[in-house]
Amino acid sequence: MKTFCSTKALCSTIFALFFLTASVWASVTVSSPASGETVGTSAHYVASATTTTCSRGVASMGVYVDNKLIRVVNGTHLDTNIDLALGKRQTVVEEWDYCGGATFTPIDLTVANQGGVWVGSPTPNSTINSLANYTATATSSCSKGVASMGVYVNNKLLYVQQGAKLNTQMTLTPGPQHTVVEEWDYCGGAAFSTIDVNVLSNQKKISNIHASKRWNSWGQFAPDYVDCAPCDGVAWAITPGIASPSTTGNATRFDIAGTRPYGDVLFSNPLIGQFSTQGLPDSNHTLLPTLHNFVYDTDFYVSNASVTQVLEFDVNMYMNGVGMIWGTQCNNLGGKGWDIWDNVNAKWMSTGVPCTLIDHGWNHVTVQVQRGADNSLIYQSITLNGVIANINKSYAPFTVPPSWYGITVNYQMDGDHKASPNTTYLDNFSLTYW
């Protein structure tokens, strides 16, 4: 690295002045790990960044280890695990804005090869929703390694997973909860971390959405993908009350067919606000403005993955001329990855997270999203068949007619290049909101 100061003391002085000045305009807040902390060989980094000098905001964030850039994520939030070598490590969390500026926070760590449990989420003494994401890693001094990990809730063992990494969702009851994440090694040893949490009690849940008899549906086809009903070359059907396949004995069948290559069918259900199917019209406009968190949760059956181009799971909110579409799709035949929707630019953005479907069987998906104070759309996590992927990416909303008002959920099936007939099923479909 080139320097432009004549002495080491002068360089230090210039650096200090620059850092103090820059911190007034931009900041990187690191909530985990803490500088000076002793960690295991896998450290969980959680950080956020802001800037006031660039009107376009923060573009990306990254983590340096010993002056090497190890990880980069887009957006104002970073949540990732970094593998570290033993010993003293100099790490830095940095943000880069769209105007060419940057700010960073140094995090010096000691990495020790010792037995222990490092919990990425939830954080101790945090307030969480009832569907809690537990992620953790473990190390052991046992030469044979870690055998398994588990979660206790109020002194009862409720979950066990093999190996040295834990990634699961657990449903917790409202109020204070005493939880423990423990590891057991092959030598008979064990270690644990205590995670006391407070579970929110103001959540509401709309259940059995799949069984609603008031679904709206439209077809779409290239090149514009404008909603149409009926549509030339795209056909579809909804059939409730399916006993098999079903997880409850009351699934709903969704079909797509036709002659248009890559034709789509959008199934939509208005839950709150205009045309509510749940008796929640919110005519006085007092409910929607209070809502910031949503959990889309459903079982879905894939009959034939080889013709399932895309399956889409969306939460939509419209209020005061602002449109927010939390679009999430499993791009099965387009790379087997999860994509999320960029509202302003109207395009799908890859998350880099794999989406591997169980063919001829039931899958389970949970999508957690949030509305920021500025109506930004925050994609928090996607969980498929028990595997949690923390997304933590944010996008701006878009403009809609002021008369639009409500919350809807979508389920969409995209046809393949042959317009092959395809059937899927939904069961246990719910939306939790608060």
- Cβ atoms within 10 Å, residue 196: 13
**37-51 mean pLDDT:** 85
User: Exposed/middle/buried for 93, CB within 10 Å: 0-12, 13-18, 19+?
Assistant: buried
Question: Using only C-alpha atoms, what is the Rg of the chain?
Answer: 24
pLDDT value at residue 393: 96
Is the pLDDT at 160 greater than 50? The verdict is yes
The architecture in CATH of the region 23-111 reads Sandwich (2.60)
Instruction: Enumerate the CATH 2.60.120.260 domain ranges in the chain, comma separated.
Output: 204-433
Residue (of 21, 137, 39) closest to 91 by Cα position? 39
Looking at every residue in the chain, the average pLDDT score rounds to 92
Is the pLDDT at 19 greater than 50? The verdict is no
Distance CA 363, CA 132 (A): 19
Strands (DSSP E) contained in 200-305 are: 204-206, 216-220, 234-242, 251-258, 264-273, 293-302
CA atoms within 13 A on the CB side of 422: 30
Which of 32-36, 106-110, 145-149, 258-262 is least confident? 32-36
314-364 residue pLDDT tens: 999 999 999 999 999 999 999 999 999 999 999 999 999 999 999 999 999
pLDDT value at residue 20: 40
Q: Give the phi and the psi of residue 427 in degrees, each rounded to 5.
A: -155, 155
pLDDT value at residue 114: 65
Is the pTM for the entire model greater than 0.85?
Answer: no
- Looking at the domain 204-433, which fold is it? Jelly Rolls (2.60.120)
Helices (H), 165-317: none
Identify the helix (H) or strand (E) that includes residue 390: strand 387-395
178-206 residue pLDDT tens: 999 999 999 888 899 999 999 998 899 99
49-60 residue pLDDT tens: 999 889 999 999
Q: Tell whether domain 116-199 is in CATH 3.10.105.10.
A: no
Distance CA 170, CA 147 (A): 21
Instruction: Enumerate the CATH 2.60.40.10 domain ranges in the chain, comma separated.
Output: 23-111, 116-199
Residue (of 297, 135, 329) closest to 203 by Cα position? 297
